[in-house]
Every structure is written in structure tokens, then in C-alpha cells.
């Protein structure tokens, strides 16, 4: 149990007679009878600090006597709580737990929130053999469960924002142990466990909370990496929308739409900054045919001072900051601008302004690029995709309805980046090794996928696996599992995060990108192919599990699309062992394959605009 707590105060000197009496064997009680009344008055005349100072110089018996005499005169005063507390400590040290308990109770009578006294009361009661009363005293020292729950949640939130995932996860689990059925806390904890590669991520080990409930409340982003089923992804999204963005007032836009000479197309985003989405979409904004389109940007993004943000904003005809606006105010501005087509670039990602969409401020509303999954929001009309990411036979699994663009759905930037010079030696890669890599966030790595990677490296002699160093927890977890599979630690390498240009340059140093599933690489997959790095994907069912297949089909590397886990391992192994096959893939990408296909921004813009002109003529679909 806890040791008694003491309170100390700085004290001035006091009178010498009292000092002399306390120094006598037996303390004040040993002083001459005629002096005891005088001594008692001296003790009672001390202030609290003087009392404590004298007590510090007295033996055990003298301490108790001092406090008892002083409290006889001052025990009812508010400052008496400290003296009662110290009397309790002195009595415990003197072997009188019952007397100590009485003193602690008096301290609590004067100051009910004195936690130290409550804790020590429990210690004294336990020492007196009153165990049940001791348990009650300790429980009373705890904050109420609701308050502890709030504190755990606040601690978890701040620790997560600091990147301290392990401690944050401990706080959130402590909150769930108080009240298991907190959807928001479950969501954060499941995704945190994904990021830490703590598998299975929805197994939270909380009594009364099933893995199925935690998985259902994992949140939209986590769902893309947890389920390869658009119906389960949609159910997760629908529950999130119900909690976070309930229906609002009547729609703002006219059902019949507008008849402007130029189509007013508005882009809504919180990521017009140094974000993957902006790197993809910048040239599309620049290349819009201004004779047919007028471009508005409704921006709730941070002012990060980046080059890409400046480029994106410059590509807009109208930059409308809405960060400080409420959802209703932002929607009203969009309605005032008479936007024909509003394209949401967030979906259900962090910071999304779903509440703006709920007002239906534009006759046609489309979700694109930011969130690669179903969004069951009645006010959305379409999700922009292609024939591969959402095959027609799966249309009935998606809300909103799929809107297909010819070719690959993904916008790209054709500008040639200026990249730094990098070498394997400079980044710690072995020169002669076959380097498998994956630089996606670790929350996309599943237990099954990592197991496949272990099988591949074990089979291909002289190969290594090169991952991004995402966070300390996942690095430790992956390294531990790697070594448990009998693989040497020096064959699992981690790369630190770097600026975008250096990251792209480093991709060219690897030999094969091993894609994740059910949440494929998107922007990163395009970057890898652009840098001449072949990519192997395992095509699944949902949009997120088919992104890379769309990119590979467009660029002409369909032999890198696996259809089962066994096929994935077999293809990766063969590519690592058959240098002629690997060289042929590299040669294909070394030509103008990317520029003619994924990098053909002008062609993509034309196909994109053709689809926009069609849906503009069909307002009121949502």
C-alpha cells in the first residue's frame, strides 16, 4: 500500500522554552507540572507553519503531543486540515492506526477533496484490519467514472496528436474499460492499432466489447484497410455520417439546375496544401477549358506556404476561403455562386466538410479522389470511378451511384519533377540485393499481407524488404514478427520520411513495389510507376482494392495484377528470381509508357470534362 504522505511548510524560529521541553525524554509530558499549562499555551499560540517546524525537530511522541495540543484550540479552523493530516501521519508512525484514521477523517471533514488524506485513511484502516472500509476509502479517492473516462479520452487525443501511439492507445483502452460502448473511442483505437500493426486491430481486449462491434465502429478510413467489401465499408460510413453529419434543413440548390454559358465547377477540399490530393489534381485545375468551364475552389485548407498550395490556388478562377465559415454559411456561399457541379475532394477523410454537402448547395454533387469508397450520403449524386475500380456488376453495392470516366479514374501531373541524385549506398540499401519495397502508411499493412512478404523474401535469395519508418510501435512490431519467421533483421530495412522529390527519387532505387490490399496504394502507386518501378498488386473487390489494377492496366503491366494471395506470392517470387522478366518490366516503364497513359494530363482533362458536361445536363439526381 502507499506510504503516508506528509505536508511540510517553511517556518520562522519559535520560542526556546518549547524547544527545550520537546528535547526532554518523553517530550512535553515530561516537563514539570507547573510548566505544562504554559507550554500548552505556547503550542496553541503557534501559527501552522511554526507548529510544523517544531514538529520536525521532535521525536515521535512529541510530534503527536504537539499536534494534539494545537488542534484542541485550532482543529475547527480551515487550516486545521493540514494539521489533522500530519497528526494522522505521526500516529501511524507511532503504531496507532485507529488514531490515525480518526485524524484523517477530521482532515476530510474540513477539506473533503483532500485526496492525500483519503488515500492515507485507507492505509490506516487496512492496518487496523478493516479491509472493506479501506477499499471504500480508496475508491472514494478516485474521480467519478465519468470524469476518469473524460480524462482518459483527453489524454489519448493529445498523445495521438503528438504521435505517441502506444501511450495514447493505453489511455483509450482505459476509457473503454470504464464504458465499452463509445463509438468514437473505438474508432480511434482501432485505427491506432492499425497504424501500430497491432493485429488484429479490432481486438481491443475490453470486457463487454466484441471484436465485431469494434470493427463496425472502426471509422471510414480504417474500414478501407479492414474490409474488402463495399457493403461493410458503406455500413461503417453510414453509421459515421449518422453520428457526425445528421440531416440539416431543406436543400439550397434548385432541382432544375442552372443554365450558365460556362459550367461553374466548384472543388471543395481541406487539402489544398502539401497533400497527395493536391499533387494529383493541380494540372487538371490548370488545364480546364476556360471557354467551357469556370473553376471555383472552396478551401478549408491550412496555409502551409508550400509551392503546391500556391500552384493549386493560382489555377482557380475563384479562390473562396471557407475555413472560418460554418457548414451552412459555406453552403450558402456555394449556392450564391450558382455552382453547377460541386466536386468534393475529401469524402470521409479527416477534416471533411460533409455538413456542407448535406445542404445540397449545388444541383450536382460528386465525390472524387480523396476517399476511395462508398459514401452513403443522400445529397451526393455520384462517385467518380472507372470500369476497373467499380465494375458495372458491382454498381448496386455503391452509394452514391458510380460515374465512370474513360480510362483510369486518377488525375496526374505531367510536369517532370526535378529530383535529387540518390544512391543505394547513401540510403543504406545493399548494392547487389533485390529490393522489394512498400512505402505506404503502415495502417494499410495487414497481418496476411505481411506474412506474404515474409514468404517472398524467404524464397528469394539475396532479397530485402524496404519499408517506410512510419512509427516506433509498428517498426518494433514488424521487426519482432520478421525475426520470429526466422528472417535476418538486416533484411528488413526502414527508410525515414523525406520531402516529396527525394521520396520519388528513392523509389527508383528499389526493384519491385509490393502493394497492400485491401487498401491499395494510390498516389504512391502512380509515383512508383512514373519512376520506373514495377508494382505488384493483389486485386480485390472494393474500389480501394482495385486502384492499382486500374493504374497497371492503363500503363500496360497487367502481368503485375495478382488475383489471389498465392498468386501474389508466386508472381513476386518469380519476378525476384527471373532477372530477364524483371528487366523487361523495367524496360517497359523506362520508355514513354507513363507519359502516354497516366501522365497524359491533357487527355485526362478532356475525358473528365466530357463526363462533367453529361452530368450537368442531368441535375437533381441525388
For residue 517, what is the enclosing H or E element? Answer: none
Give the number of residues written for the chain.
Answer: 622
Residue 18 has pLDDT above 70, yes or no: no
- Which is more confidently placed, 412 or 11? 412
504 burial level (CB within 10 Å; 0-12, 13-18, 19+): buried
Q: How far lies 613's CA from each of 70, 307, 315, 344, 610, in Å?
A: 90, 31, 20, 17, 5
Angle subtended at Cα 300 by Cα 296 and Cα 304, rounded to the nearest 5 degrees? 105
| Dihedral sign for Cα atoms in the order 20, 23, 25, 26 | positive
Rounded to the nearest 10 degrees, how much is the dihedral formed by the CA atoms of 138, 139, 142, 146?
Answer: 180
C-alpha–C-alpha distance, residues 596 and 137, integer Å: 75
Residue 622 has pLDDT above 50, yes or no: no
Residue 74 and residue 83 in contact, taking contact as beta carbons nearer than 8 Å = yes
Provide, for the chain, the percentages of residues in helix, strand and coil under a 3-state DSSP scheme, each rounded to the nearest 5: 50, 10, 40
Tell me the average pLDDT of the chain: 91
C-alpha–C-alpha distance, residues 99 and 124, integer Å: 9
Q: How far lies 29's CA from each of 18, 24, 59, 96, 108, in Å?
A: 12, 9, 12, 18, 29
CB neighbours of residue 604 within 10 Å:
24
Phi, psi of 29 (to 5 degrees): -65, -20
Burial string for 96-105 (b: 16+ CB within 10 Å, else e) reads bbebbbbbbb
SS3 118: helix
Q: Average pLDDT, stretch 491-498? A: 96
| Dihedral sign for Cα atoms in the order 58, 63, 69, 75 | positive
How does strand 434-438 pair with strand 318-321?
A: unpaired
C-alpha–C-alpha distance, residues 328 and 387, integer Å: 35
Q: What percentage of residues in the chain have a pLDDT greater than 70?
A: 90
Residue-range domains of the chain with CATH = 16-141 (1.25.40.10), 145-218 (1.25.40), 263-404 (3.40.50.11380), 424-597 (3.40.50.2000)
Residue 542 and residue 224 in contact, taking contact as beta carbons nearer than 8 Å = yes
What band does 64 get if pLDDT is binned at 50, 70 and 90? Answer: confident
Those residues with Cβ within 8 angstroms of residue 451's Cβ, 6 or more apart along the chain or in another chain: none
What band does 37 get if pLDDT is binned at 50, 70 and 90? Answer: low
Place of cell 503516508: 4
C-alpha–C-alpha distance, residues 200 and 601, integer Å: 41
When computed from its CA atoms, the radius of gyration of the chain, rounded to whole angstroms, is 34
How does strand 364-367 pair with strand 293-299?
A: unpaired
C-alpha–C-alpha distance, residues 311 and 429, integer Å: 35
Cis bond upstream, residue 376 (ω within 30): no
Mind listing the pLDDT tens digit for each residue in 103-127? 999 999 999 988 899 999 999 999 9
CB neighbours of residue 95 within 10 Å:
10
Residue 17 has pLDDT above 60, yes or no: no
Mind listing the pLDDT tens digit for each residue in 579-612? 999 999 999 999 899 999 999 999 999 999 999 9
Q: What percentage of residues in the chain have a pLDDT greater than 90?
A: 79
Mind listing the pLDDT tens digit for each residue in 552-586? 999 999 999 999 999 999 999 999 999 999 999 99
Mind listing the pLDDT tens digit for each residue in 498-519? 999 999 999 999 999 999 999 9
C-alpha–C-alpha distance, residues 447 and 74, integer Å: 67
- Specify the pLDDT at position 613: 95
pTM across the whole model: 0.83
Residue 273 and residue 311 in contact, taking contact as beta carbons nearer than 8 Å = no
SS3 242: helix
Q: What is the DSSP letter of 415?
A: S
Residue 229 has pLDDT above 60, yes or no: yes
Grid cell at residue 543: 474500389
- Specify the pLDDT at position 470: 96
3-state secondary structure 142-208: CCCHHHHHHHHHHHHHHHHHCCCHHHHHHHHHHHHHHCCCCHHHHHHHHHHHHHCCCCCCCCCCCCC
C-alpha–C-alpha distance, residues 616 and 622, integer Å: 13
Amino acid at each position: 500500500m502507499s506510504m503516508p504522505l506528509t505536508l511540510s511548510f517553511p517556518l520562522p524560529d519559535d520560542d526556546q522554552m518549547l524547544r527545550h521541553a520537546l528535547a526532554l525524554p518523553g517530550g512535553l509530558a515530561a516537563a514539570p507540572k507547573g510548566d505544562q499549562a504554559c507550554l500548552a499555551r505556547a503550542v496553541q499560540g503557534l501559527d501552522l507553519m511554526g507548529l510544523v517546524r517544531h514538529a520536525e525537530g521532535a521525536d515521535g511522541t512529541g510530534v503527536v503531543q504537539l499536534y494534539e495540543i494545537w488542534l484542541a484550540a485550532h482543529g475547527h479552523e480551515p487550516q486545521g486540515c493540514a494539521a489533522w493530516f500530519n497528526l494522522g501521519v505521526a500516529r501511524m508512525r507511532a503504531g496507532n492506526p485507529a488514531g490515525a484514521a480518526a485524524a484523517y477523517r477530521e482532515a476530510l471533514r474540513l477539506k473533503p477533496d483532500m485526496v492525500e488524506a483519503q488515500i492515507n485513511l485507507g492505509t490506516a484502516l487496512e492496518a487496523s484490519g478493516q479491509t472493506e472500509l479501506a477499499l471504500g476509502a480508496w475508491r472514494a479517492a478516485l474521480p467519478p467514472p465519468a470524469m476518469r473516462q473524460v480524462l482518459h479520452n483527453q489524454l489519448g487525443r493529445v498523445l495521438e496528436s503528438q504521435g505517441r501511439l502506444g501511450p495514447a492507445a493505453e489511455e483509450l483502452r482505459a476509457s473503454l474499460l470504464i464504458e465499452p460502448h463509445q463509438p468514437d473511442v473505438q474508432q480511434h483505437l482501432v485505427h491506432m492499432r492499425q497504424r501500430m500493426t497491432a493485429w488484429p486491430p479490432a481486438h481491443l481486449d475490453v470486457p463487454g466489447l466484441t471484436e465485431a462491434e469494434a470493427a463496425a465502429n472502426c471509422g471510414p478510413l480504417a474500414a478501407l484497410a479492414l474490409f474488402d467489401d463495399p457493403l461493410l465499408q458503406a455500413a461503417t460510413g453510414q453509421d459515421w455520417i449518422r453520428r457526425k453529419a445528421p440531416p440539416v434543413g431543406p436543400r439550397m440548390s434548385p432541382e432544375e439546375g442552372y443554365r450558365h454559358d460556362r459550367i461553374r465547377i466548384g472543388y471543395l477540399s481541406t487539402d489544398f496544401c502539401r497533400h497527395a490530393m493536391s499533387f494529383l489534381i493541380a494540372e487538371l485545375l490548370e488545364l480546364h477549358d476556360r471557354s467551357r468551364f469556370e473553376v471555383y475552389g472552396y478551401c478549408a485548407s491550412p496555409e502551409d506556404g508550400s509551392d503546391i498550395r500556391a500552384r493549386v490556388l493560382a489555377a482557380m478562377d475563384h479562390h473562396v476561403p471557407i475555413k472560418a465559415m460554418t457548414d451552412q454559411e459555406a453552403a450558402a456561399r456555394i449556392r450564391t455562386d450558382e455552382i453547377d457541379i460541386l466536386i468534393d475532394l475529401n469524402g470521409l477523410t479527416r477534416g471533411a466538410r460533409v455538413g456542407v454537402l448535406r445542404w445540397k448547395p449545388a444541383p450536382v454533387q460528386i465525390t472524387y479522389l480523396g476517399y476511395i469508397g462508398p459514401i452513403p450520403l443522400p445529397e451526393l449524386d455520384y462517385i467518380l470511378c472507372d470500369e476497373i475500380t467499380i465494375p458495372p456488376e458491382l454498381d448496386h453495392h455503391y452509394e452514391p451511384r458510380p460515374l465512370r470516366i474513360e480510362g483510369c479514374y486518377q488525375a496526374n501531373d505531367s510536369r517532370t519533377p526535378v529530383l535529387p541524385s540518390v544512391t543505394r549506398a547513401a540510403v543504406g540499401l545493399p548494392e547487389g540485393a533485390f529490393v522489394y519495397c512498400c512505402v505506404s502508411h503502415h495502417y494499410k499493412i495487414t497481418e496476411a499481407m505481411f506474412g506474404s512478404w515474409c514468404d517472398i523474401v524467404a524464397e528469394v535469395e539475396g532479397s530485402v524488404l524496404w519499408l517506410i519508418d512510419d512509427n516506433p510501435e509498428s517498426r518494433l512490431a514488424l521487426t519482432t514478427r520478421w525475426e520470429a519467421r526466422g528472417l535476418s533483421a538486416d533484411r528488413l530495412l526502414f527508410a525515414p520520411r523525406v520531402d516529396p522529390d527525394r521520396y520519388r527519387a528513392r523509389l527508383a532505387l528499389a526493384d519491385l513495389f509490393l502493394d497492400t490490399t485491401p487498401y491499395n496504394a494510390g498516389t504512391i502507386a502512380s509515383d512508383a510507376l512514373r519512376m520506373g518501378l514495377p508494382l505488384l498488386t493483389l486485386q480485390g473487390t472494393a474500389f480501394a482494392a482495385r486502384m492499382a489494377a486500374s493504374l497497371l492496366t492503363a500503363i500496360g503491366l497487367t502481368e503485375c495484377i495478382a488475383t489471389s494471395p498465392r498468386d501474389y506470392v508466386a508472381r513476386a517470387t518469380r519476378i525476384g528470381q527471373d532477372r530477364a522478366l524483371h528487366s523487361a518490366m523495367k524496360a517497359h516503364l523506362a520508355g514513354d509508357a507513363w507519359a502516354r497513359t497516366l501522365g497524359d494530363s491533357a487527355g485526362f482533362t478532356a475525358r473528365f470534362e466530357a463526363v462533367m458536361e453529361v452530368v450537368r445536363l442531368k441535375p437533381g439526381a441525388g
